[in-house]
Structure 1
Amino acid sequence: MTDSATSAELTPTVPPITGRPELLARWLYSVAAVIVVMVIVGGITRLTESGLSITEWKPVTGAIPPLNDAQWQAEFDAYKQIGEYQQVSGPAGMTLADYKFIYFWEWFHRLLGRFIGLIYALPLAWFWIKNYIPSGYKWRLVALLALGGLQGTFGWYMVRSGLSTEMTDVSHFWLSIHLLTALFTLGGLIWTALDLGRLAAIPNARPAKFTGMAWAVSAILFIQLLLGAWVAGLNAGLASDTWPLMQDRLVPEFDLAKGWFWAMTHDPYLLHFLHRWWAWVAVAALIILSRKVRPFDRRASIAIHSAFGIQIILGIATVWTGVDLWIATAHQGVGALLVAATAWGMHLIGRTA
């Protein structure tokens, strides 16, 4: 037997890469970037009280805004039928020009949702037809598509919850479902893109596992994001413009007349308090995660530290400025980036599990 033959026999065989994982990874990162923009626009929509400006859901024709004065007046008249206008906007003297401003943000938010659907569904169909999707990833990509569909559905249920003469805002429960579904989808896109990128570099690489640490960090971060969504939905950011004290005390007064459960899900003072201090539990968990990640990829550790550091500063600034539009919007946008950075870190740990 020749030396070359012996060498060939001893060299482990590596299965060939099926599909185009690197191409798919770049595509998923692009979709994830647009979702971050979507979260930011959603924050502006919420902070400008624009979410109820469009009272109907028209998946296709709704992409076209009013084109003449009669159409604008019809939309404005529909808006006048709901409680937000009758109890808040109308008494404040809203004009048609004011209405066009809030209409734009809700319309743009919905348009971005449609755009994300197109840039995900159409390439997915093309990759499927061309057999570019590696073995084992089709179901995951379809699941992410389904999440996108749910996101749109939850968005409409959120809007519908505020379309009555009694309500002046959307349900903070539906708002939290809508936002957290977007962030969960973002994390799923990042995770899948990382799996595909690793597969492109290492043909026999297996998908990363979701470890015990990942579950713990996810649970802690989920609570913080949920509290943040409820704070936004109840306008609880306005409960205090001082930090670290509220009402000149560490623990503010809050309403317990209906019990602890109601207070922890509805009272703006208690929710504001919980959101600002649970943040430090989340910080502790993220520090532990980033320290564990550092030996694998220092960039991920820096990304996690930077994201939660900036997020804390923006959160305090949001309070001090009385929920300034652009600072509060940046706070929500960096929250999305924090989710992406955390997914990156958890994925690194899961590679060796």
Structure 2
Amino acid sequence: MPTATANPKPYALANLLLFTAGLVFAMVVIGGITRLTESGLSITEWKPIVGAIPPLSHQDWVHAFDLYKQTPQYREVAGPAGMDLAGFKFIFLWEWVHRFLGRVIGLVFFGAIAWFAWKRAIPKGFTWRLIALFVLGGLQGAVGWLMVMSGLEGRTEVSPYRLSAHLLFALFLMGALIWTALDLRSVGRNRDARPAKLTAASIVTLAILFVQLLLGAWVAGFRAGYVSNSWPLMNDRFFPEGVDWSNGAGFALTHDPFLLHFLHRWWAWAVVATLVVFARKVRRAGSRSASIAIHSAFGTQIILGIATVTTGIALSVAVLHQAVGALVLASTVWGAHVVGQKR
């Protein structure tokens, strides 16, 4: 890939990265639907090329269903529940759409970046960052397949830890795309602009938010959201009954659904307090829009979090909760970039 730049197009490249970040956001949303509909294990093979085409004939569908019938999830959960071919098609198509979108993201990003490189339109200093983003996207796909593999033998669901890695990888990729796009826009305004730096305040804020995202992924993986459908108390208690401390506090902190649910719902307020302070810093740094975006995102997320619990994890509400969680991260990354710009 050439490094010399004949006709840099930072704004066009930034728009491409933001579009790609939007596709990753869509994949996070569809991933939430896939998880909530128990669709993730419906496709038992990884075929990067021919797998892009779903079953086209009745015989193909029967074959795919037969492969699924060999999984522990079907033998112990879906089969006894009476899943038929129509039910299998429903979960298969959600997983197929999820994987297909991943392929689209890879093709769009690689093809567009190759075109920018051929036109020598990549601004100086961004070539290796774009390569790193592409590699990160590929690793995200690999982590997704490792997650699926964890549920094909000996388990009726995927590993909660691989699920959390898959989700957090996607969110990190989305954040990195947004950050790089904002750097490119800075170059578009000023050719000599330097990349923004992560400040101490931004690192602390993102770290506190990361803990909440990790807890949320574990709550999803361990199905901990179902242990209580009341708020603010959990089953009429502030601290829930049923936490299993028999294997020690460390084990409970990373495995027990009651404790994970409790931590996720109350750590949220630490995130809120941090984001309120951080949004004010963002506004003082010169971006009222980013500050408003942060407040709007976390305010909506709190409401959706409560609604997710009180509706007993209704599909539409839970998916919106995951989607807005991604927007909380996106707005925080935007704010961190504002604070980290040298003026």
Normalized against structure 1, the TM-score is what? 0.94
- State yes or no: 1:316 paired with 2:270: no
Correspondences of 1:241-256 after superposition (within 5 Å): 241-253=229-241, 254-256=243-245
Q: How far apart are the structure 1 equivalents of 2:232 and 2:313? A: 15
Q: Does 1:223 align with 2:211?
A: yes
**AA in 2 matched with 1:232:** A
Asked whether the 8 Å contact 1:17–1:203 carries over to 2, the reply is: no
1:204 deviates by 1.2
1:162, 1:169 within 8 Å by CA — same for their partners in 2?
yes
Residue 204 (structure 1) aligned to one of 162, 168, 192: 192
Give the paired residue count. 337
Q: Provide Cα deviations, 1:42-85, integer angstroms capped at 9, x if missing partner.
A: 00000000000000110010000011111111111111111111
Contact 2:229 2:235 in 1 (8 A): no
User: What's the counterpart of residue 22 of structure 1?
Assistant: 11
- Cα deviation, 1:139-161, whole Å, max 9, x if unaligned, reads 11111101100000000000000
Structure 1 residue runs without a partner (length 5+): 1-15
Q: Is the 8 A contact 2:219 2:260 kept in 1?
A: yes
Find the aligned partners of 2:271 and 2:136 in 1 and give their Cα distance: 25
Partner of 2:280: 291
Q: Which of 127, 132, 140 is the matching residue for 1:151?
A: 140
- How far 1:282 moved relative to its partner? 0.8
Question: 2:28, 2:323 within 8 Å by CA — same for their partners in 1?
Answer: yes
In structure 2, the partner of 1:4 is none
Contact kept in structure 2, 1:84 and 1:169, CA below 8 Å: yes
Aligned pair partner of 2:291 in 290, 301, 305: 301
Question: Of residues 111, 119, 124 in structure 1, which corresponds to 2:108?
Answer: 119
**Is 1:276 matched with 2:254?**
no
- Give the Å deviation of 1:95: 0.6
Any idea what SS the aligned residue of 2:61 has? Answer: helix
1:130 to 108, 119, 136: 119
| Whole-angstrom CA distance in 2 between matches of 1:347 and 1:168 | 42
What CA distance in whole angstroms lies between the structure 1 residues aligned with 2:65 and 2:318? Answer: 28
Q: State how 1:1-353 maps to structure 2 within 5 Å.
A: 19-164=8-153, 166-253=154-241, 254-295=243-284, 296-352=286-342
Aligned residue identity for 1:178: H
Contact 1:18–1:135, Cα closer than 8 Å, also in 2:
no
Q: How far apart are the structure 2 equivalents of 1:347 and 1:17?
A: 28
- The residue that corresponds to 1:7 in the other structure is none
C-alpha spacing 1:310/1:194, structure 2 compared with 1 (3 Å): same
CA contact (8 A) 2:6 2:120 kept: no
Task: Tell me the CA shift for residue 352 of structure 1.
Answer: 3.0
- Deviations for 1:170-226, whole angstroms, at most 9, x for unmatched residues? 000000000000000000011000000011011211110111111101110110000
Q: How far apart, CA to CA, are the structure 2 residues paired with 1:326 and 1:202?
A: 43
Q: What do you get for the CA RMSD once the two structures are aligned? A: 1.2
Q: Would the aligned equivalents of 2:194 and 2:342 in 1 still touch at CA under 8 Å?
A: no
CA contact (8 A) 1:17 1:200 kept: no
Q: Provide the C-alpha distance between the structure 1 equivalents of 2:331 and 2:212, rounded to a whole number of angstroms.
A: 16
Query: Quick check: 2:6–2:121 contact (8 Å CA) kept in 1?
Result: no
Q: Kindly state the Cα deviation for residue 333 of structure 1 after the two structures are TM-superposed.
A: 0.5
TM-score, normalised to structure 2, is: 0.97
- Partners of 1:26 and 1:172 in 2: how far apart? 34
Q: The residue matched to 2:42 in structure 1 has which SS?
A: coil
Moved over 3 A (4+): none
Structure 1 contact 236–272 (Cα < 8 Å) conserved = yes
The percentage of counterpart residues that share the same residue type is: 58
- Residue type of the partner of 1:100? K
Residue type at the aligned position of 2:214: L
Which residue identity lines up with residue 28 of structure 1 in the other structure? Answer: L
What SS is found at the alignment partner of 1:208?
Answer: coil
Residue 294 of structure 1: SS of its match in structure 2?
helix
1:282-329 CA distances to partner (integer Å, 9 max, x unpaired)? 111111110001131101000000000000100000000000000000
In structure 2, how many angstroms separate the alpha carbons of the residues matched to 1:95 and 1:125? 45
Residue identity matched to 2:70: Q
